Amino acid sequence: MSRVRVAVIGGGQSSEHAVSLASAASVAAALDPSEHDVVTLTIGRDGTWQDATGPLGTSSARSLAAAVEQIATCDVALPVVHGPKGEDGTLAALCDLAGVPYVGSGVRGGALAMDKWATKLVAQELGIRTAHGDLVTATDARRLSFEDPVVVKPVAAGSSHGVTLVRTAADLDAAIETALALDDRALVEELVTGREVDIAVLERPDGSRLVGPALEIVVPRDALFDADTKYDGSADFRLPAQLEEPDLKALSDAALALFDALGCAGVARFDFFLTPDGPVLNEVNTMPGMTAESQVPRMFAAIGLPYADLLAELVAAALGTARAR
């Protein structure tokens, strides 16, 4: 049997560039060489592409054209680019136009899930609670006032970049400016108090869905699970999370409903706050961190699906569902 030729794409132009490089390198190294022929492609911060031998072309437009030619020689693409201009459906659209199957959500799923405001609206229609919040832009931000602590975040960004916990009104403007530096819209949401619990959903090659074990994130008291906490090792990941069966079912049902309603494919991670009144959706990640030590691979490894097998399933599922796209 011939090996499957896989284009592993990493990097990107978002604030998650370095995280994506780590994910892509880990994925490329873990794909079984007896089954996969890996082609590595990297998108620079300036938008230029390169392969294992060096830059492709002398400009972003020329390098993109050269990259598309390389992608077209592959059986499947595995984009591991987090954040805008990658996870938001951009690379899915590129692969669609090139006629190459790809791992992960399509244009609709990626775009909706990356847009936190759109995700909130979909969740609310499904009866899934979200934090009360306001959508603001640079022109209307100063009209906002609040009494309780709020969390300010860009509408479309990942890894908690640009997220600020605001406890006093005097700090609100600076927090909004920080968020708007990464997007032209920001969310100002009420602070939700509850256990932080993640649920991952995997689309298998036969079309079935596998829900991974719940993972609880415990951060230092009065801290936010922000970009620093995600990567400085201070967060405590508890896997599996110790949950009552009704709470676990509510979280799993919500994740599955969102997976379908948003149009997700491949694997997606759903981040919730578990409150005394039930789950509250925080956000959805359609291309979560994918190193062996990242949350999603650890979740599935805990139920007997090792990292390399998880990646092989993602590739097989992408090849199997290509015709549906």
> What pLDDT digit, counting tens, does each position of 29-65 carry?
999 999 999 999 999 999 999 999 999 987 888 999 9
Residue 29 has φ and ψ, to the nearest 5°, of -75, -25
For the chain, the C-alpha Rg in angstroms (whole number) is 19
Distance (Å, whole) CA 324 – CA 220? 45
CB 124 within 8 A of CB 109: no
Stated pTM of the model: 0.91
pLDDT at residue 83 greater than cutoff 80: yes
DSSP, collapsed to helix, strand or coil, labels residue 165 as strand
Lowest mean pLDDT among 115-129, 160-174, 276-290, 292-306: 160-174
The sign of the torsion formed by the CA atoms of 50, 53, 54, 57 equals negative
Distance (Å, whole) CA 272 – CA 257? 14
Domains of the chain: 4-102 (3.40.50.20), 111-129+193-324 (3.30.470.20), 132-190 (3.30.1490.20)
Here the tokens at position 219 are 């951060």
pLDDT score, position 234: 61
CB 252 within 8 A of CB 199: yes
Distance (Å, whole) CA 310 – CA 298? 10
End-to-end Cα spacing for the chain = 26
CB 12 within 8 A of CB 43: yes
pLDDT bin (cut points 50, 70, 90) of residue 141 is low
Tell me whether residue 237 is exposed, middle or buried, using C-beta atoms within 10 angstroms of its C-beta: 0 to 12, 13 to 18, 19 or more: middle
Distance (Å, whole) CA 224 – CA 213? 23
Strand-strand pairing, 129-130 and 278-285: parallel
